[in-house]
């Protein structure tokens, strides 16, 4: 990574660069008017302006209190996810409060210190949403690891104070995307992986229902719970999931195919391991929630069984996704017989005549939370797909769960060295050999990050890597991306961070928001969303692909 060679163009310079453009106003100004209808092809003659919709360019939210450091978090003794008394006291002390903050305009970035051209005519190729890390969790399952929750990096995600409200938060994220779609039509919705938390059958049912839409959805397991008496006020209550109003596409994350994103479901002999098998049992050894007690504290010991908690293999997950024929489409949401057979979520889809999206599976089914790339898959899947895209004259956007910062030789914790695994730089060098690859969209880190990944063989080559924050953690944000053909040999990707619309959110979602804020400001959760300065959030990314 060579951030020192990136050009960060100031808004004032941007204004001078774009003053001669065919649009009538500065496209990076918050006052820019809405763009034209979605789906305009590069062959069209009209110039397009970026769309206007509610986003963090207008305003955003920050925590009212600063986040505790590690020492302050440890001083609490127990975290807000494990102890409802700690959670409730932190809320009384203001750790769940937020306040509005000024919006952030778009930072213009181009690789190798190159200044983007002035006077271009933007032609929009696509506009779509990127929704990452929903991590819908059955927080009553016996195979939870909630007792390991701690304010240190390896264990921050063992449990969350807002786990009971994650379905409500995901539904509000989808509703926010639909509201944008009504103002500035979106061509598709692309997931970022970690759609569920522990590969359970009921978790998969919940996320598919939220994305496709379902009336009377209840994200609950075993006996029915109502932690706050009355309807529509907590995460265990029945609600109507609106469902996405545009086609959506599946992406695998480590939590989709591993027990809590770390532990392999099957050993090398194909036998289900004890932690996975425990999901349908009656004994929690590692901590789960007990909703029969006030505040649903984390407990160990006997729990009520539920057969719907069955843990699914990666192939079974993909089979269930492939069988989906309802909702906004497409059938299978990118997953078909080939993916089910291989157990790997590699596929491509086109939008218009110019853009191809190549979804690839960065997970390690043998265990480990980090990403892995095998030389065998590079040869059998990547090379044919990228060769064909180049021959077809397509610009390519890659989509996976893990960014290159998290590509390893052993898949990290609970993983082990794998024969034929590539280093992150070897993978970058391979992809950078295809100049028509303009970007890679990822999730996993629960942080917004935007970096140009340079080839080590040729520093003039590379691609943009764009990581989107999580819905599961503070600050519950997603991205909208617009791809433009700027002519003169340039492409531009505008990536805009969007907050969930809290003004119309359900009581359950607002409860989850408060609890996620507490989890973050107390220092017990990860997330945070920023990933650095504003150059990682609202950005205009320029690159020179083959035209």
Is residue 539 scored above 50 in pLDDT?
yes
Average pLDDT taken over every residue of the chain = 90
**pLDDT confidence tier of residue 15, bands split at 50, 70 and 90:** very low
CA dist., res. 397 & res. 359, Å (int):
8
Query: Which residue, among 121, 126, 122, 120, has the nearest Cα to 37 in the 3D structure?
Result: 126
The residue-averaged pLDDT of 461-481 equals 97
Q: How many CB atoms lie within 10 A of CB 34?
A: 12
Q: Give the whole-angstrom CA distance, residue 204 versus residue 360.
A: 20
pLDDT tens for each residue of 39-57 = 444 444 589 999 999 999 9
* CB burial string 35-60: b at 16+ within 10 A, e below: beebebebeeeebbbbbbbebbbeeb
Q: What is the pLDDT of residue 10?
A: 38
The answer to whether the peptide bond before residue 475 is cis (omega within 30 degrees of 0) is yes
CATH architecture label of 3-543: 4-Layer Sandwich (3.60)
Q: How far lies 534's CA from each of 163, 259, 538, 539, in Å?
A: 29, 34, 7, 8
Q: What is the pLDDT of residues 395-423, one digit of tens each?
A: 999 999 999 999 999 988 888 888 899 99
Rounded Cα distance between 528 and 137, Å, is 20
DSSP letter (8 states) at residue 79: -
pLDDT in tens, 306-328: 999 999 999 999 999 999 988 89
Q: For the residues of 256-297, what is the DSSP string, one character each?
A: HHSBTTTB-SB-TTSPBPHHHHGGGSSEEEEEEE-TTSTT--
- pTM of the model as a whole: 0.90
Domain segments of the chain as ranges? 3-543
Residue corresponding to tokens 């997330």: 527
- pLDDT tens per residue across span 278-304: 999 999 999 999 999 999 999 999 999
């Amino acid at each position: 990574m060579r951030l020192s060679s990136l050009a960060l163009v100031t808004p004032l310079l941007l204004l001078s660069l774009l003053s001669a453009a065919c649009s009538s106003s500065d496209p990076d100004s918050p006052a820019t008017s809405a763009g034209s209808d979605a789906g305009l092809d590069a062959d069209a003659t009209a110039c397009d302006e970026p769309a206007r919709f509610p986003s963090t360019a207008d305003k955003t939210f920050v925590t009212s209190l600063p986040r505790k450091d590690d020492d302050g978090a440890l001083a609490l003794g127990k975290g807000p996810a494990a102890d409802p008394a700690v959670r409730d006291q932190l809320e009384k002390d203001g750790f769940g409060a937020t306040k509005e903050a000024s919006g952030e305009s778009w930072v213009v970035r181009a690789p190798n210190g190159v200044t983007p051209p002035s006077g271009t005519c933007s032609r929009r190729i696509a506009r779509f949403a990127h929704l990452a890390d929903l991590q819908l969790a059955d927080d009553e399952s016996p195979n939870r690891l909630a007792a390991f929750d701690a304010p240190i990096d390896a264990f921050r995600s063992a449990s969350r104070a807002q786990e009971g409200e994650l379905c409500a938060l995901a539904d509000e994220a989808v509703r926010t995307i639909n509201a944008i779609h009504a103002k500035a039509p979106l061509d598709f919705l692309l997931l970022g992986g970690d759609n569920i938390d522990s590969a359970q059958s009921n978790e998969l049912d919940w996320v598919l229902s939220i994305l496709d839409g379902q009336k009377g959805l209840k994200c609950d397991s075993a006996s029915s719970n109502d932690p706050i008496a009355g309807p529509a006020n907590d995460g265990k209550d029945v609600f109507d999931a609106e469902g996405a109003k545009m086609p959506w596409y599946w992406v695998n994350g480590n939590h989709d195919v591993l027990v809590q994103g770390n532990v392999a479901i099957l050993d090398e002999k194909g036998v289900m391991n004890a932690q996975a098998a425990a999901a349908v049992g009656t004994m929690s050894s590692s901590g789960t929630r007990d909703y029969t007690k006030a505040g649903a504290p984390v407990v160990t010991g006997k729990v009520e069984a539920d057969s719907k908690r069955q843990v699914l293999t990666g192939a079974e997950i993909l089979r269930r996704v492939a069988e989906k024929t309802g909702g906004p489409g497409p059938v299978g949401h990118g997953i078909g017989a080939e993916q089910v057979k291989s157990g790997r979520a590699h596929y491509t889809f086109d939008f218009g005549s110019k853009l191809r999206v190549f979804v690839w599976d960065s997970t390690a089914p043998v265990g480990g939370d980090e990403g892995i790339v095998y030389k065998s898959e590079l040869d059998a899947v990547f090379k044919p797909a990228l060769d064909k895209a180049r021959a077809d004259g397509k610009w390519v956007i890659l989509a996976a769960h893990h960014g290159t910062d998290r590509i390893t030789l052993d898949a990290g914790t609970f993983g082990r060295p794998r024969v034929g695994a590539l280093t992150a730089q070897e993978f970058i060098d391979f992809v950078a050999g295809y100049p028509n690859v303009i970007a890679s969209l990822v999730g996993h880190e629960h942080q917004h990050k935007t970096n140009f990944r340079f080839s080590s063989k040729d520093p003039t080559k590379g691609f943009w890597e764009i990581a989107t924050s999580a819905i599961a953690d503070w600050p519950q944000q997603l991205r909208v991306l617009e791809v433009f053909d700027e002519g003169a040999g340039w492409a531009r990707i505008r990536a805009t961070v969007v907050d969930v619309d809290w003004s119309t959110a359900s009581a359950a979602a607002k409860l989850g928001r408060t609890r996620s804020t507490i989890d973050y400001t107390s220092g017990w959760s990860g997330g945070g969303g920023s990933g650095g300065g504003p150059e990682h959030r609202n950005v205009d990314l320029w690159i020179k692909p083959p035209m």
